[in-house]
Amino acid sequence: MRKLLPILLAFVLTVPLFGQKQTSMKSLEKERARLEKEIAILNRQINETSSKREAALTSLSLVRSKISAREKLIAGCDKTLKVLDDSIGTCRAQMELLQARHDTLSAYYARLVRGTYKNRDSRMWYMYVLASESIGQGLRRFGYLRTLATEMSSQATRIRETSAALQVEKERLEALRAQEAAVRRQIVSERSKLQAEETESNRLVQKLGKDRKKYEQQLREKNRQKEALNKKIADLIRQQSQKKSGGSGKKTTSTAIDTKLSNEFASNKGRLPWPVEGAIVERFGKHRHPVYQNVELPQNNGVTLAVKKGTQAKAVFNGTVTQIVVLPGYNQCVLVNHGAFFTLYSKLGTVAVKSGDKVKTGQVIGTVDTIGGEDLFHFELWNGTTPQNPESWLRD
């Protein structure tokens, strides 16, 4: 039995590792599903904008976002493949351990059977007990024979259980190999699509370079709209902050409530829900134009996402609607106050709230509008008068 201990110990130690790999696989599959959904949204947007003559700027942004998502998807597939390879190795090791255990149990059982067969005459067993020198020795011999019978039965049971476990591992190995083959096929497919998307991106870059004057004019108009949005929202937040301080820096009676809400909001950093489901096409911060490298784009105080047509925007936290404004290129914009924090929901066609309304996490703020053939949603998050990167606050 001592020979079995290293085998059994090794078998037990592999079980937690398998559980960890299962958890890793689930997270990778979840991320892959999310990226595939993003790519589907971007594909729909690209198909809808590609037919428009003036859509090269938007198409380039969408295609490059799709390339980024595709690269992440391929990287995720590579990680999945690594986990599957490790799982297959673990599975094979478990099969070897089970096979060794099965062989050891079978050999031991065979010895028991051979010994029993040689002494199969029941009269020999009776004589063995009756020939005892004392009652105590007779009871011990009888106990030994009974134990031998029990051990044979138990050994047979363990062999059957080990055989069943071995069969389960064989089936799991086949399933892992099939899954590995499917992921390898997906990687080949995704790389082919990525190559086509990079070709399309290069084509759009050349088009933008040829008609530079026309597209620079479009760019200037978009930049003016963004700068107007930045100024308007900054002014609204500054005014709201001044009201809360009584205009003179003195705290008002609402401070205690605001502080409580602010603390609750801040404590949820990294766990706030996304206001919409979509793919990010413009990230927070300052960026240069992807084609006209000498052109610095205005500060992006939030994130812009490509979404499905008719997508509803939802509040990311409890708060109060401060104001609703309409701005060129951004249509209806809803500003929500969360104590010292503010969130902005813009590019809305219809609004389901009004100024002064209390809103709760997940409550519908409005429906994203189709502007210039684009279904885009713009979201911002401010801490006082300082814009924050929403991706740092919203959950993965």
* pLDDT tens per residue across span 149-175: 565 666 667 777 777 777 887 888 888
**CA pair distance 260, 174, nearest whole angstrom:** 56
Domains, the chain, ordered by start: 4-209 (1.10.287), 219-393 (2.70.70.10)
**CA pair distance 352, 350, nearest whole angstrom:** 7
Instruction: Point out the least confidently predicted range of 81-85, 317-321, 336-340.
Output: 81-85
* pLDDT tens per residue across span 116-140: 544 444 444 445 444 555 666 555 5
Most confident of the following: 16-25, 164-173, 292-301, 380-389: 380-389
Give whole-number Cα distances, 89 to 100, 169, 170, 229, 288, in Å: 17, 12, 12, 56, 47
Helix axes 56-118, 135-210, angle to 10 degrees: 160
- pLDDT in the model for residue 12: 41
